[in-house]
Amino acid sequence: MNGTKIKICGLYREEDIEYINRYRPDYAGFVFYPKSHRNVEKKKMRYFREKLSREIAAVGVFVNEDIEVIKALAEEGDLDIIQLHGEEDEAYLQRLRRQLPKTEIWRAYKVWSKEDLVRAEGSSADKILLDHGYGTGKCFDWTFLKNQKRPFILAGGLCAENVREAIDRFSPEIVDISSGVETDGKKDREKIKTVIKAVRQR
């Protein structure tokens, strides 16, 4: 079985957790951003974490959030991984790491040019996530990945129809999928099942 792992992101309904527990991706993503229709409130996250299988890592996605807010959620045990999806700079990342030295931190980067990849390569984050533009549901120009040296998480426009191609061509460490497993803005059980099967096929 190939080594690429899968994250299903943007879970915000109780049935979403049921789908995830049934089909077992490696990571479950929860968005903490009020402007998103997938936004999850702190109280709801506690409920989701209790329902979510402990075999699946919970990733909290934040956009330019106050570090104390992130720290509180992580220390309460609701989140295993922090994903920064805004304009957080290295200074912010270092401050967060000092507050949460044992928590894995991912940093997302918009890839519109080769220069963006160079910037991502230099990040001190534990993992870098390469995306078209947060929440656009579109792929960036994958030809930029030809000389990618650092392991990466691939996001943006992925679905059952193209995820296998992305894995075969570029061997991302993780693929991150949200709108690609939705129908009318809601997670679709069959699409989740199909995309996970595509990622894990031999």
144: DSSP letter: G
Biggest alpha carbon distance in the chain? Answer: 43
Which long-range CB contacts under 8 A does 141-148 form with residues at least 24 apart?
Answer: 141/111, 142/166, 142/169, 142/170, 144/111, 144/113, 144/114, 144/116, 144/117, 145/117, 145/169, 145/170, 148/117
Q: Which residues are catalytic?
A: 9, 131
Q: What is the dihedral of CA 195, 54, 176, 11, to 10 degrees?
A: 90
66: DSSP letter: -
Report yes or no: 199 and 163 within 8 Å, Cβ to Cβ.
Answer: yes
Q: Which residues pair with 84 in a beta bridge?
A: 62, 107
Report yes or no: 176 and 29 within 8 Å, Cβ to Cβ.
Answer: yes
Q: What is the token pair recorded at 88?
A: 């957080």
